């Protein structure tokens, strides 16, 4: 250490660093935000801007329909694939994208924060023939204003290993009833996301009617605690919580997990690999008797879209009969467009995808069967507002912290 009577150089360096950090700190504490919806709705669609930047689920923006769209409109599509709804919200807030294929557990957050604009459905001609039970839903229409175009829907299904789980389960009790689930201790697969609490609420709605659960995403404190307790009891029986599809596929293929909640995608991959897996058959409507959680996705337009005309063209294109049939067959979900289910359209789409022709595709996925979808509770953002005038429901922050507690 040197001491020449001058200020020590290290001290000078520290002071400079502290000063800079303070400046950055102050810059970080900029404007404060308030929640307000965006109400600027487009009144016409002009010429395309030549480019379109989208956030989407995997396989939603792919070929052949992406190329068809680019040829038709001259809008070059750049797609950012997101893994979770939270990631979609985060990406949309950067303001660098024109639109997003938001699930119901993201859409309300985007609308309330003003990240997305209302959609003028008159500018989307194909909207007219979308299945009526997908329109005016709480996750795409807010106080009568449309904020998006429905894309497709599906259910979170129950899958099991046919060698290990006998007889074939007809109810979620196989993984949620503490006694029955104990038979498969360490072999149960559960979805690693706060929204999984809704699966427990769906189960309780059928098995404990005195709780009075109506919508599994609008839970009062008592209802919520009952669902959380159920999942805490499930915790010791869980082999693995899966957050990505690959992890669950490997767990079922290695025999680490034998029964649990899944998406069609994992089920089809495992089945096609020849693994002994099964899911609720069509006779039961593909879901256990209590019903199931599910998703219904909506294309939304960013309030800071740099290419709004291309976005409107895309929203109309992706629900056009052939394109919607193509994406539905690739992804494995029910299309939103009723005309996508016409046999000729399905056949043409399957051929374009290079998939086996299946004229019964829409029947298998119950695309046009409202009674089936009444048993599917689409993902929704849990809000304090219970939807019935009272505002003592548990909000998404409560769900996230409860999920941390459940996993422990």
Partner 1 sequence: MEAADALASRPRRSVGRRLADLFHGRPGLQVGSLLSGPVAWLVVGYLGSLAVLLAAAFWNVSALTGEVSQTFSLDNFKTLVTEPVYRTIAWRTIRVASLVTITDALLAFPIAFYMAKVASPRARSALVVAVLMPLWSFYLVKVYAWRTILSAGGALNWALEPLGINGPGYGTTAVWLVMSYLWLPYMIIPIYAGLERIPDSLLSASEDLGASPFTTFRRVILPLAFPAVVAGSIFTFSLTMGDYITPTLVSNNQFIGNVVFNNITNNLPLASAFACVPIIVMIIYLLVARRLGAFEHL
**Of these, 4, 6, 7, 28, which contacts partner 1 (CB under 8 A)?**
28
Q: Report the DSSP beta bridge partners of residue 189.
A: 240, 260
**Judged by CB under 8 A, does residue 396 bind partner 1?**
yes
**Judged by CB under 8 A, does residue 30 bind partner 1?**
yes
**Of these, 55, 149, 159, 238, which contacts partner 1 (CB under 8 A)?**
238
Shortest Cβ distance from residue 152 to partner 1 (Å)? Answer: 24
Shortest Cβ distance from residue 131 to partner 1 (Å)? Answer: 29
**Judged by CB under 8 A, does residue 306 bind partner 1?**
no
Q: Which stretches of 57-195 are assigned E, i.e. beta strand?
A: 76-81, 99-102, 116-117, 141-142, 145-146, 149-155, 157-161, 188-191
Structure tokens at 366: 């119950």
Q: How far apart are CA 292 and CA 310, in angstroms?
A: 36
**Of these, 24, 182, 282, 357, which contacts partner 1 (CB under 8 A)?**
24
**Judged by CB under 8 A, does residue 403 bind partner 1?**
yes
**Judged by CB under 8 A, does residue 109 bind partner 1?**
yes
**Judged by CB under 8 A, does residue 357 bind partner 1?**
no
Q: How far apart are CA 282 and CA 391, in angstroms?
A: 39
Please say which residue, 187 or 307, places its beta carbon nearer to partner 1. 187
**Judged by CB under 8 A, does residue 92 bind partner 1?**
no
Please say which residue, 33 or 371, places its beta carbon nearer to partner 1. 33
How many residues make contact with partner 1 (CB under 8 A)? 48
Q: Report the DSSP beta bridge partners of residue 238.
A: 188
Shortest Cβ distance from residue 391 to partner 1 (Å)? Answer: 11
Q: How far apart are CA 302 and CA 307, in angstroms?
A: 10
> Would you give the binding string for partner 1 spanning residues 177-216, x where CB under 8 A is met?
---------x-----x------------------------
Please say which residue, 368 or 387, places its beta carbon nearer to partner 1. 387
Q: Using N-to-C axis directions, what is the helix angle for 245-253 and 264-272, rounded to 10°?
A: 40
Shortest Cβ distance from residue 186 to partner 1 (Å)? Answer: 7
Please say which residue, 88 or 349, places its beta carbon nearer to partner 1. 88
Q: How far apart are CA 123 and CA 285, in angstroms?
A: 35
**Of these, 90, 96, 162, 344, which contacts partner 1 (CB under 8 A)?**
90
Shortest Cβ distance from residue 255 to partner 1 (Å)? Answer: 5
Please say which residue, 73 or 140, places its beta carbon nearer to partner 1. 140
Q: Do 337 and 319 meet the contact criterion of CB atoms below 8 Å apart?
A: yes
Residues numbered 112-141 forming contacts with partner 1, rule: CB under 8 A: 112-113
The tokens 């074939």 sit on which residue? 168
Q: How far apart are CA 24 and CA 26, in angstroms?
A: 5
Query: What three-state secondary structure class fits 64?
Result: coil
Please say which residue, 263 or 396, places its beta carbon nearer to partner 1. 396
Angle, alpha carbons 125-129-133 (nearest 5°): 125
Q: What share of the chain is helix, strand, coil (3-state, %, to 5)?
A: 45, 15, 40
Q: Using N-to-C axis directions, what is the helix angle for 321-331 and 65-73, rounded to 10°?
A: 150
Phi-psi region of 332 (alpha: psi -120 to 50; beta: other; left: phi over 0): left
> Where on the chain is the footprint of partner 1 (CB under 8 A)?
13, 16-17, 20-21, 24-25, 28-30, 32-33, 35, 84, 86-87, 89-90, 93, 109, 112-113, 186, 192, 235, 238-241, 243, 247, 250-251, 254-256, 383-384, 395-397, 400-401, 403-405, 407-408
């Amino acid at each position: 250490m040197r001491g020449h009577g001058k200020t020590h150089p290290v001290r000078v360096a520290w002071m400079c660093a502290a000063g800079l950090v303070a400046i950055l700190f102050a810059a970080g504490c900029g404007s404060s935000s308030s929640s307000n919806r965006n109400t600027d709705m487009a009144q016409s669609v002009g010429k395309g801007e030549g480019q379109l930047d989208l956030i989407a689920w995997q396989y939603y923006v792919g070929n052949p329909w992406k190329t068809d769209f680019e040829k038709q409109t001259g809008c070059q599509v750049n797609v950012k694939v997101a893994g979770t709804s939270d990631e979609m919200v985060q990406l949309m807030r950067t303001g660098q994208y024109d639109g997003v294929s938001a699930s119901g557990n993201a859409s309300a957050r985007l609308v309330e924060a003003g990240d997305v604009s209302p959609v003028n459905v008159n500018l989307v001609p194909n909207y007219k023939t979308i299945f009526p039970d997908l329109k005016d839903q709480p996750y795409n229409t807010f106080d009568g204003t449309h904020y998006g175009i429905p894309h497709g829907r599906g259910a979170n299904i129950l899958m099991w290993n046919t060698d290990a789980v006998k007889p074939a389960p007809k109810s979620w009790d196989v993984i949620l009833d503490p006694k029955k689930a104990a038979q498969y201790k360490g072999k149960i697969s559960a979805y690693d996301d706060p929204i999984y609490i809704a699966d427990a609420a769906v189960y309780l709605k059928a098995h404990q009617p005195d709780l009075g659960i109506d919508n599994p995403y609008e839970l009062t404190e008592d209802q919520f605690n009952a669902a959380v307790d159920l999942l805490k009891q499930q915790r010791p029986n869980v082999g693995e919580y899966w957050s990505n599809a690959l992890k669950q596929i490997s767990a079922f293929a290695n025999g680490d997990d034998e029964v649990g909640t899944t998406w069609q995608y994992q089920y089809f991959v495992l089945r096609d690999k020849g693994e002994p897996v099964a899911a609720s058959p069509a006779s039961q409507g593909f879901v256990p008797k209590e019903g199931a959680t599910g998703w219904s996705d909506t294309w939304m337009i960013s309030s800071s879209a740099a290419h709004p005309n291309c976005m409107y063209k895309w929203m109309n294109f992706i629900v056009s009969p052939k394109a919607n049939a193509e994406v539905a067959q690739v992804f494995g979900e029910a299309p939103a467009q009723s005309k996508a289910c016409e046999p000729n359209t399905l056949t043409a789409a399957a051929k374009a995808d290079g998939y086996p022709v299946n004229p019964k595709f829409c029947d298998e996925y119950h695309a046009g069967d409202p009674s089936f979808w009444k048993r599917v509770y689409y993902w929704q953002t849990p809000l304090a507002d219970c939807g019935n005038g009272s505002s003592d429901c548990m909000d998404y922050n409560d769900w996230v912290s409860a999920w941390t507690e459940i996993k422990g």
